[in-house]
Amino acid sequence: MSGGTTAAIGRRAGVVEIFARNRAAAVAASVLLALLLLALLGPAIAGFDPDKVGVGPAMAAPGGAHPLGTDELGRDVLSRVVVGLRVSLAVGLGAAAIATGIGILVGGTAGFFGGRIDDALMRVTEIFQVIPRFFLAILLVAFFGTSILNILIAIAVLSWPEVARVLRAEFLSLRGRQFVDAARLAGASTPELIFAEILPNALGPVIVNATLQVGQAMLLEAGLSYLGLGDPSQVSLGLMLQQGQQIMRPAWWVMAFPGLLVFLAVLCLNVTGDGLNDVLNPRARER
């Protein structure tokens, strides 16, 4: 085994050890992985079509052929929950990915070039930050339509300023470091300085923030769906909460299980983000 391979294995083992020190983060990551597997394998696990009416008695309590019960139309709640989890996670991950991409572009450009470019981009960022996110999301979705794609894009457009400000601060800190000056003297182009030298060293806080963005996007989608602005053609956890509020008293399970999954997913994402911060933040490693 070569020395380089041994060193790489050692670094990976060190990363796992640092992450494992935070037991709450390790448990949260395990639960999050289980939820992702459930979302991916859900249709194979669920025994019924989530949209099929009358697969069981209306508002049947959990048990028997329907472990999580049925809703007012006799639809299997378990089948709807696993499909809804997939949709909600897809919205969260997709919105976080787009928001992170926009934030990296804006924050990296502002932090690297500085001056008037920095001022202009940061003023735009501040405008987006001061606008109430939830109410603007309501306006965007109401105007452009309540499809899942429109909801995802609306959430992403409103979520990038946090990433931009975090990455800008990292770029401002790193652009004057010796390794960047050495690369510049060696003839590295501007794209090489940004993408090969600075960005890889600035991604730690961005990765941590991305985990939080996924949870925030899931909550925002659930809130929009609860207000009746969700995609009625796609089963999501938020849509289940909205539909179940009318029968919450006689059939508590219709809202309890999707609500529990939203709570669990967001909690695990936040705690996992704390664990990733321990790994990627040098100051956290020293505690």
- Angle formed by the axes of helices 77-113 and 23-45, nearest 10°: 130
- Is residue 56's pLDDT more than 80? yes
Homologous superfamily assigned to 3-45+82-285: MetI-like (1.10.3720.10)
> Mean pLDDT, to the nearest integer, of 62-91?
90
Q: How far is the C-alpha of 55 from the C-alpha of 70, rounded, in Å?
A: 9
Q: What is the predicted pLDDT for the residue at 99?
A: 94
Entry pTM: 0.86
User: What are the pLDDT digits (tens) for 245-257?
Assistant: 888 888 899 999 9
> Mean pLDDT, to the nearest integer, of 226-255?
88
> Mean pLDDT, to the nearest integer, of 263-286?
79
30 pLDDT band (50/70/90 cuts)? very high
Q: What is the predicted pLDDT for the residue at 14?
A: 58
Q: Of 75 and 280, which is predicted with more confidence?
A: 75
176 pLDDT band (50/70/90 cuts)? confident
Q: What is the predicted pLDDT for the residue at 7?
A: 41
Domain boundaries, the chain: 3-45+82-285
Q: What is the predicted pLDDT for the residue at 203?
A: 85
Q: Of 44 and 2, which is predicted with more confidence?
A: 44
Q: Which of 36-45, 73-82, 86-95, 167-176 has the lowest mean pLDDT?
A: 36-45
> Mean pLDDT, to the nearest integer, of 114-123?
92
Query: C-alpha dihedral over 249, 254, 259, 264, to 10 degrees?
Result: 130
